Amino acid sequence: MPAFPAAADASTRNTQLRANLRHATHTIRAKRATAVAELDDWSSLRAAGAAIKDRTLRHLDQYLEQLERAVTAAGGHVHWAADADEANRIVTELVRATGEREVVKVKSMATQEIGLNGALATAGITAYETDLAELIVQLGDDLPSHILVPAIHRNRGEIRDIFAERMAEWGRPAPEGLTDAPADLAEAARLHLREKFLNAKVGISGANFMVAETGTLVVVESEGNGRMCLTLPETLISVVGIEKIVPSFQDLEVFLQLLPRSSTAERMNPYTSTWTGTTDADGPRTFHLVLLDNGRTDTLADTVGRQALRCIRCSACLNVCPVYERAGGHAYGSAYPGPIGAILTPQLRGVQSELDASLPYASSLCGACYEVCPVAIDIPEILVHLRERVVEGGPVSVRGTRTVIKPAKGHAAERAAMRAARWALDHPRVLRTGQRLASRTRRFHPRRLPGPGRAWSDTRELPKVPEESFRDWWRRTRGESGTEGRKTTT
């Protein structure tokens, strides 16, 4: 996968993709603003959501052990996976033990993150996606491009073509003469998936939340497909990131208000499924919970970056991001696109690869993502923090061990410019002389930078140097001491 600028360069030239994204993100963001404005206490809810998550993260080890005890007591089995390979191995062995060769899946970002479908396919096991958008992505040999609407980059005509051409290869074919009317597309998917649900013996899910005190897992969704996946199979395997935990059932009341309004602009989501271990004569007979670390403990060790673990995957930050709207989700090269992907992926995977080192720069730092985030993650702050890590290197935690990473390649000019700026700012006389010189020569300044700087100025306007620097203006209007002419207030 190329670095973000190269991938975005290709996607921004796709006018159909940009039109699809613009239409979808603008529609969702407008609806979200209305849904949020209905609540007078939204800012209090937001602060409560952030506080609950922060407290939970501070005591994460204790809550996870409490969860393990509660799940086990309720008849479930808990497995700990340090990384993607371990999680894939655990799930593959669990499926093999059932003797099945097919599984149904309810949308799960964690399984996207670890590449579970590919690992199962290598072991001869076929995973069928049952979320409508995930089904579109799977049938189209595509990748998800949005957290909530993985097929956001497709319009109705494209979906009709995918259903008509590919459904038969995966099971029940699309009806003859399928149109691109939403009701027809939904009916085709319903018939196709119903067959899968009724035959499946193993289901794989993620979870939006896990409740430590009761061992309960929670999935919120809009279609009801998830509920079928969670209740019909004999064996249920849930793969969940360790940060998805909340201490008590009561904490859910905050998140079950924040999440639907931020994601689908609904007052409450249509289906909220909860399950606690196993129950005789109802639901799966066997339940396995795979707790996934995969870089989360290392992220927690970073006092600035750990905010990203508060994320409840609502996707509000994607829908307001001007960069995501033009580049699309595939350019981020990970299961987590948009602003949250730009801060989460480089922390989970590190910044050693060219792609991961480029992600903290996939932002204009406009701050719109922070404004809408229901758990108040200061995404711009983390982006700047990660840019510093890319350029300067420094101490990080890798699999629980503190280590020092080197600066990423290709940032020598940036580093030199920052050091020169620091030196100039430490020497006021030099700075003043430079500013005056720049003001007096402003007529001769180029509109584009020469040499390697050209790529930067090709897409930006260089700022105009003012006739007079702020320091000179201050001295001229306030005098040498800076107090002349200043009004005093009492």
Contact pick of 321, 373, 386, 396 for ligand SF4 (by CB under 6 A): 373
Q: Which is nearer to ligand SF4, 290 or 317 (CB)?
A: 317
130 close to 105: Cβ distance less than 8 angstroms: yes
Nearer to ligand SF4 by C-beta: 225 or 262? 262
Contact 3, 355 (CB under 8 A): yes
Q: What are the helix and strand counts (H, E) for the chain?
A: 23, 12
Give dist(CA 188, CA 6) in Å, integer.
37
For ligand SF4, the closer of residues 208 and 315 by Cβ is: 315
β-strand partners of 211: 216, 246
Which residue in 28, 340, 357, 396 binds ligand SF4 (CB under 6 A)?
A: 340
At 365, list the tokens: 């730092």
Q: How many residues does the chain have?
A: 490
* 346 is a site residue for ligand SF4 (CB under 6 A): no
Indicate which single residue of 156, 201, 285, 313 sits in contact with ligand SF4 (rule: CB under 6 A).
313
String of contacts with ligand SF4 for each residue 247-286, x by CB under 6 A: ---------------x------------------------
Report the run of H or E that residue 137 belongs to, with start and end: helix 132-139
CB of 359 to ligand SF4, least distance (A): 14
Judged by CB under 6 A, the chain residues 94 through 153 that form the site for ligand SF4 are: 147
CB proximity list for 22: less than 8 A, separation 6 or greater: 325
Using N-to-C axis directions, what is the helix angle for 338-349 and 379-392, rounded to 10°? 40
Triad 11, 112, 144: Cα angle to 5°: 30
Convert residues 145-174 into a mask of x (bound to ligand SF4 by CB under 6 A) and - (unbound).
--x---------------------------
Q: Is 467 left (phi over 0), alpha (psi -120 to 50) or beta?
A: alpha
Among 84, 137, 149, 317, binds ligand SF4 (CB under 6 A): 317
Distance CA(344)–CA(382), nearest Å, equals 9
Alpha helices in 315-453 (DSSP H): 316-320, 322-327, 338-349, 354-358, 368-372, 379-392, 412-425, 428-440
Subset of 376-415 contacting ligand SF4 (CB under 6 A): 377
Comparing CB distances to ligand SF4, the nearer of 203 and 380 is: 380
Across-strand partners of 273? Answer: 219
Give the nearest distance from C-beta 264 to ligand SF4 in angstroms: 12
Q: Would you state the structure tokens that stand for residue 105, as one six-digit string?
A: 């899946």
Is residue 284 a contact partner of residue 100, using CB atoms and an 8 Å limit? no
Rounded to a whole number of angstroms, the minimum distance from the CB of residue 379 to ligand SF4 is 6
DSSP category for residue 39: -
Q: Rule CB under 6 A: is residue 368 a binding residue for ligand SF4?
A: no
Binder among 230, 312, 327, 391 for ligand SF4 (CB under 6 A): 312
Binding map of ligand SF4 across residues 204-243, x = CB under 6 A, - = no contact: ----------------------------------------
Give the shortest CB-329-to-ligand SF4 separation in angstroms: 12
Options 119, 204, 311, 355; binder of ligand SF4; rule CB under 6 A: 311
Residue 310 Cβ vs ligand SF4, minimum distance, rounded to whole Å = 7
Which residues of the shown chain bind ligand SF4 in the complex (CB under 6 A)?
A: 147, 262, 311-317, 340, 372-375, 377
